Amino acid sequence: MQPKLELLTQDMIARILDEAFQLMLKPGIKVQSAEARQLLAEAGARIDEANEIAFIPEKVVRTALETVPAAFHLYDRHGNPKVTYGGDAVQFDPGSSGVHVLDPETLEHRPSYTADLVRLVKVAEMLPQYAAQSTAVVCNEVPKPIGDLYRLYVVLMFSEKPIVTGSFSIQTLPAMFDMLALFAGGRDALAEKPQAVFDVCPSPPLIWSDFGAQNLIELARAGVPAEMVSMPLAGAAAPVTLLGSVVQHAAESLSGIAIHQLAQPGSPIVWGGAPAIFDMRRGTTPMGAVETAMIDAAYAQVGKSLGLPTHTYLGATDSKIVDAQAGLESGVSAVLGALAGINMISGAGMLDFLACHSPEKLVVDAEAIGMAHRLVAGLEVRTETLATMLFEGINFKGDFLKQRATRQLFPLEQYLPSPVIDRDSIRGWQAAGSPDTFARAKALTRQLLDEYRRPQIALDREAELSAMVEGLAREAGMERLPNLD
């Protein structure tokens, strides 16, 4: 039995959806793409062209919901299904689009470059807790117009895991499809076995920008999975109440589904998000707040009631270093996301409101993820009787260590943490130099980077892929690509 966190009653889910549908009619949804407005109008939405507002009736959305796939897979570079979107599957990937990295020696937050992205990808590749890669940071030495596809390029060169990514403009999207198609074996094969999901963001409150809506349309037509990342900011760009923000999330996401499915019915799309509460003291957007996780768990429950695949942003911290706050916020929120049964939980490795990434934090967060996975795996009956048969021959002695069952079952019953988690005796720990969590994480990160080997499939495609990206880089005014070594 998979343990579950459910914050909403069925009545409350119905009420949330009812109000979301009301919002879609009044005030309506601002849709800044003419093509998207056209699609919605043809389906029966009333349009205020002057103000770019679509008034979307419930039936348009209900029709769209009928064609959304309830589940789909992401594949690795060999074409094996590795990530399941749908049902209560729980998976994690590192957070995306950081602009800084934490320097493990100086603790400075410095701008991220190619070498930083390479390190993040290598570490995430080595840790089985991460089901997918993300395009974790932007590379500041690369021209902005190709920043998105360049990140994808780096990930493809160093990883064979599925990828959570996204484009920064409509112009680069086809190039990113082509890069993925190079591994998948063509655009059709890519749609058949997608290796990446693309994040697409509405703008709170209740706005689909031209770029966002157009992104949905292009992804739908390409058959490449879209992941909506609705970001109600409770108390600032969304109602202050958590339930109010969940309603806004539903309205933004439902209107996104309508646009997406009108462009291509049956294309895969994910009910995702990155909401946060608004900190009333600092004016910041805390990702580690328990209320942020509550909004996530609630909107995921709404999405599940509609039979949709789910995503959220948890497992991150607002702390600036890998300290106790980082551990508790990332750990607590990862567990809450897992208990909510969210298919893809992005955010691990990130500090400072998703601005800063850290390979060392990825290594620490992997342990929270391992424990969260263990928790949602639940309690299983592994023996014919629960205990009585195991007491045979015990005779009041603590001899269970000698039992075959102990040896066979302990790896199933217990999650075995990496050396980042200290379970040594006090003297063993002292003998190791009394390292704190961050020191242990630094050591393990170094070890993982040493042990990392580039996947053969990346080496095989290196020439083709590099040629493709070099061409695009030249068009953007960059003569030579940065050295990846």
Partner 1 sequence: MSAELFEKMARSVLDGDSDEAEALAKQAVEMGLDPLECITSGYVVGVNEVGENFACGQAFLPELVMAGEAMKAAVAILEPEMAKRGTARQMYGKVVLATVEGDIHEIGKTLVGTLLSASGFEVIDLGVDVPTTRIIEKAREVNADIVALSALLTTTMVKQGEVIEALEDVGLRGKVKVMVGGAPVTREWVARIGADGYSEDAIGAVKVAKELMGKA
Does 410 engage in binding with partner 1 (CB under 8 A)?
yes
- Taking every pair of Cα atoms in the chain, the longest distance, rounded to a whole number of angstroms, is 84
Q: In angstroms, what is the minimal distance from the CB of 133 to partner 1?
A: 27
Of 32-40, 172-180, 377-385, 395-403, the window that binds partner 1 (rule: CB under 8 A) is: 395-403
Q: In angstroms, what is the minimal distance from the CB of 358 to partner 1?
A: 25
Does 391 engage in binding with partner 1 (CB under 8 A)?
no
Which one of residues 379, 387, 401, 463 is an interface residue with partner 1 (CB under 8 A)? 401
Of 200-208, 209-217, 219-227, 401-409, the window that binds partner 1 (rule: CB under 8 A) is: 401-409
Which one of residues 78, 407, 434, 474 is an interface residue with partner 1 (CB under 8 A)? 407
Residue type, 122: K
Cβ nearer to partner 1, comparing 169 with 403: 403
Query: Quick one: 76 exposed, middle or buried, by C-beta within 10 A (0-12, 13-18, 19+)?
Result: buried
Which one of residues 50, 385, 388, 398 is an interface residue with partner 1 (CB under 8 A)? 398
Does 404 engage in binding with partner 1 (CB under 8 A)?
yes
Which one of residues 44, 111, 265, 428 is an interface residue with partner 1 (CB under 8 A)? 428
Which one of residues 241, 406, 434, 456 is an interface residue with partner 1 (CB under 8 A)? 406
Does 423 engage in binding with partner 1 (CB under 8 A)?
no
Does 427 engage in binding with partner 1 (CB under 8 A)?
yes
What is 138-172 written as a DSSP string?
Answer: --TTS-GGGHHHHHHHHHHHH--S-EEE--SSTTT
| Structure-block tokens of residue 214 | 């157009």
Does 399 engage in binding with partner 1 (CB under 8 A)?
yes
Does 281 engage in binding with partner 1 (CB under 8 A)?
no
Which position has the token pair 């590795």?
82
Grouping H, G, I as helix, E, B as strand and the rest as coil, residue 26 is coil
Q: In angstroms, what is the minimal distance from the CB of 404 to partner 1?
A: 7
Which one of residues 402, 434, 460, 464 is an interface residue with partner 1 (CB under 8 A)? 402
Residues 6+ apart with CB under 8 A from 372: 90, 92, 334, 335, 337, 338, 339
Of 182-190, 219-227, 376-384, 426-434, the window that binds partner 1 (rule: CB under 8 A) is: 426-434
Annotate 367-378 with three-state secondary structure: HHHHHHHHHHHC
Beta carbons of 98 and 355 less than 8 angstroms apart = yes
Segments of 112-237 assigned E as strands? 133-134, 163-165, 196-200, 207-208, 226-230, 233-234
| Structure-block tokens of residue 458 | 């990346």
Cβ nearer to partner 1, comparing 51 with 425: 425
Q: In angstroms, what is the minimal distance from the CB of 359 to partner 1?
A: 22
Cβ nearer to partner 1, comparing 283 with 398: 398
What is 65-113 written as a DSSP string?
Answer: HHHS-S-EEEE-TTS-EEEEESTT--EEEE---BSEEE-TTT--EEE--
Cβ nearer to partner 1, comparing 416 with 463: 416
Of 77-85, 277-285, 391-399, 460-468, the window that binds partner 1 (rule: CB under 8 A) is: 391-399
For residue 315, give the H/E element and its range: none
Grouping H, G, I as helix, E, B as strand and the rest as coil, residue 456 is helix
Q: How many residues does the chain have?
A: 485
Q: In angstroms, what is the minimal distance from the CB of 445 to partner 1?
A: 17
For residue 351, give the H/E element and its range: strand 350-351
Of 152-160, 321-329, 404-412, 475-483, the window that binds partner 1 (rule: CB under 8 A) is: 404-412
Which one of residues 26, 281, 282, 397 is an interface residue with partner 1 (CB under 8 A)? 397
Grouping H, G, I as helix, E, B as strand and the rest as coil, residue 24 is helix
- CA geometry: angle at 360 spanning 229 and 362, to 5°? 35
Cβ nearer to partner 1, comparing 171 with 430: 430
Q: In angstroms, what is the minimal distance from the CB of 125 to partner 1?
A: 21
Which one of residues 425, 467, 477, 483 is an interface residue with partner 1 (CB under 8 A)? 425
For residue 384, give the H/E element and its range: none
Q: In angstroms, what is the minimal distance from the CB of 413 to partner 1?
A: 11
Which position has the token pair 């969940």?
246
Residue type, 415: Y
Residues that bind partner 1 (CB under 8 A): 397-399, 401-404, 406-407, 410, 419, 425, 427-428, 431
